[in-house]
Chains A and B, each alone.
Chain A
């Protein structure tokens, strides 16, 4: 993977905080904490990747940040507002969320699903209906971006896992919120679509000043593309900082229980 992608500066300019978690706690009923006292800022114009072993609390953290789960203690603020207390319509204007496995209960067509991304925007006060927007139709644009324009008339149940994932990403693009949360968005994607998505979201972060926050298991993706990496371990924040400072053998080895070596800027892993 290319480390010095000429399209983007290697480090984003010093940015303002888009979303901040402050001493966040969450616990599912009768189990140990899933998120245990996390304080972490996410910056506008940056791509932050969240990594960590299975069960370390990554997806829970993402669902807390999305406002779907309510923290048992602590606060999440975006634009100076506590997002837990915000009504869903206002929250949707700030934060979009792409789950690991998007679910649709009825046989909607791809273009209908993507168009539903604009629900909150169409209802924002003072906002005209999407049709009045200058330039291309955002739904068509998002379907081109995610390479699903050829599937526009297909129903959701006819799609592969990777296609479904891209439909959910396109829906989030139509939602067009300043903060985007993605839970393993590349898990079902082939390598071409993975690289396209990385490129596209990073350019969105830079040009549209979005805060992109995504959960991944691919540590080399994180090292190559993330502006900042957050490592979770046993529900706690284990490390947070620029990718090359955080994704090091010293930090990763005790957390993942593997041998880690760095060669040509790439991480390789061996069983202990």
Chain B
């Protein structure tokens, strides 16, 4: 009897096929033309399809990355509440975008002589968001260590406090913005996916996700054992300091990929690992495969919904509204049914 026995290959292949099927389905749903009110099912012309492809791909990448980061962080922190955003990463990205909105013009002006730097920022909010997220990640990482090793409680408390400070900074900066610009911030804070996402950005994010995923798949077995106490995990042969460093770095990479294409989308990274644990059990080797797939499906469907229902809501909702409105009650349901562990 080996640890948990072999991975259920059939189930994983089925989950992958289901993900592809949903991808194709989402491509086939949506308004027939930009601004059009009616929703159609079927493959439209290449122009429209290209726009949809960008969006569905961005949703799949962002969702997959959040599902991956969620498993890594919940395992790393041994905490059911952990997701990329409890650690202050989302709040960091929002601060980055706020700084960009308030001081962006000044910065762009000073970059005017350097076209390569200008082109770097041509993707709007992505780069400032990424910079803010990485700064918050680095800060939480430095604060979350004790005696050179990441310590779950210290890490999570540092994250919560960084998150609060970030929230205060966002409000402070928001008061420096003219009224007209404030609506943008609000929708950014919920996360949204745009058909305007550049191919370079999509490619970069998918490479980042691929690397993070490949790296994470090698950690599953060790993460299972790291869910014992530190002393037990050590004595069973796990080098906790390097395991935690790897898990944290890979989660940060995945989160960065997600934030660059979709902004800070909540609940996906929190819920999907729980759901997969309920269906497939707590083996991290499986969760690291199934949770990203499920999260990609969830976000593709949620984004297809907001993309198709703009007419009902005076314009598109940020996709984060749907993930929170669907994900929140579902999480509470799982909690009541005690399907959340211990």
Q: B234 near A105 (CB under 8 angstroms)? A: no
Q: B229 near A67 (CB under 8 angstroms)? A: no
Of residues 210 through 244 on chain B, the ones whose CB sits less than 8 Å from some CB of chain A are: 221-222, 224-225, 227-232, 234-240
Q: B237 near A92 (CB under 8 angstroms)? A: yes
Nearest CB on B from A166, distance (A) = 15
Q: B3 near A68 (CB under 8 angstroms)? A: no
Q: B1 near A119 (CB under 8 angstroms)? A: no
Check A107/B341 contact, CB under 8 A, given A102-B229, A115-B3, A115-B4: yes
Which stretch (A7-15, A93-101, A228-236) binds chain B? A93-101
Answer whether residue B145 sits at the interface, using C-beta atoms and an 8 A cutoff.
no
Q: B234 near A88 (CB under 8 angstroms)? A: yes
Nearest CB on B from A167, distance (A) = 11
* A129 contacts across to B, CB distance below 8 A: 2
Nearest CB on B from A177, distance (A) = 9
Answer whether residue A30 sits at the interface, using C-beta atoms and an 8 A cutoff.
no
Q: B227 near A106 (CB under 8 angstroms)? A: yes
CA distance A99 to B231 in the complex (A): 8
Q: A91 near B237 (CB under 8 angstroms)? A: yes
Q: B1 near A115 (CB under 8 angstroms)? A: yes
Please count how many residues in chain B sit with their CB below 8 Å of the partner chain's CB atoms. Answer: 28
Q: Which of A107, A130, A168 contacts B232 (CB 8 A)?
A: A168
* B229 contacts across to A, CB distance below 8 A: 99, 102-103
* A115 contacts across to B, CB distance below 8 A: 1-4
Q: B239 near A116 (CB under 8 angstroms)? A: no
* B221 contacts across to A, CB distance below 8 A: 119
Q: A116 near B236 (CB under 8 angstroms)? A: yes
CA distance A128 to B190 in the complex (A): 51
Q: A88 near B237 (CB under 8 angstroms)? A: yes
Q: B239 near A87 (CB under 8 angstroms)? A: yes
* A109 contacts across to B, CB distance below 8 A: 281
* A131 contacts across to B, CB distance below 8 A: 2
* B3 contacts across to A, CB distance below 8 A: 112, 115-116, 118-119, 122
Q: A119 near B282 (CB under 8 angstroms)? A: no
Q: Which of B2, B3, B222, B236 has the most CB of A within 10 A?
A: B236
Nearest CB on B from A225, distance (A) = 24
Q: B1 near A63 (CB under 8 angstroms)? A: no
Closest residue on chain B to residue A89 by CB atoms: B237
CA distance A130 to B225 in the complex (A): 17
Nearest CB on A from B283, distance (A) = 8
Nearest CB on A from B290, distance (A) = 15
Of residues 151 through 170 on chain A, the ones whose CB sits less than 8 Å from some CB of chain B are: 157, 168
Closest residue on chain A to residue B278 by CB atoms: A107
* A107 contacts across to B, CB distance below 8 A: 277, 281-282, 341-342
CA distance A139 to B235 in the complex (A): 18
Q: Which of B78, B224, B234, B240 contacts A116 (CB 8 A)?
A: B224
Q: B282 near A108 (CB under 8 angstroms)? A: yes
* A91 contacts across to B, CB distance below 8 A: 234-235, 237
* A175 contacts across to B, CB distance below 8 A: 236
Closest residue on chain B to residue A123 by CB atoms: B237
Q: A105 near B78 (CB under 8 angstroms)? A: yes
CA distance A99 to B228 in the complex (A): 11
CA distance A168 to B225 in the complex (A): 12
Nearest CB on B from A183, distance (A) = 9
Q: Which of B237, B238, B281 has the most CB of A within 10 A?
A: B237
Answer whether residue A250 sits at the interface, using C-beta atoms and an 8 A cutoff.
no
Nearest CB on B from A271, distance (A) = 35
* B4 contacts across to A, CB distance below 8 A: 112, 115
Check A106/B277 contact, CB under 8 A, given A116-B224, A120-B237, A140-B1: yes
Q: A102 near B235 (CB under 8 angstroms)? A: no
* A118 contacts across to B, CB distance below 8 A: 2-3
Q: B235 near A96 (CB under 8 angstroms)? A: yes
Nearest CB on A from B137, distance (A) = 23
* A130 contacts across to B, CB distance below 8 A: 1-2
Q: A119 near B236 (CB under 8 angstroms)? A: yes
* B240 contacts across to A, CB distance below 8 A: 88
Q: A68 near B235 (CB under 8 angstroms)? A: yes
Answer whether residue A117 sits at the interface, using C-beta atoms and an 8 A cutoff.
yes
Check A139/B1 contact, CB under 8 A, given A92-B235, A92-B236, A119-B236: yes
7 contacting pairs across A/B (C-beta < 8 A): A88-B240, A97-B231, A106-B277, A106-B282, A111-B1, A116-B3, A119-B222
- 3 tightest CB-CB pairs across the interface, nearest first? A92-B237, A120-B237, A97-B235
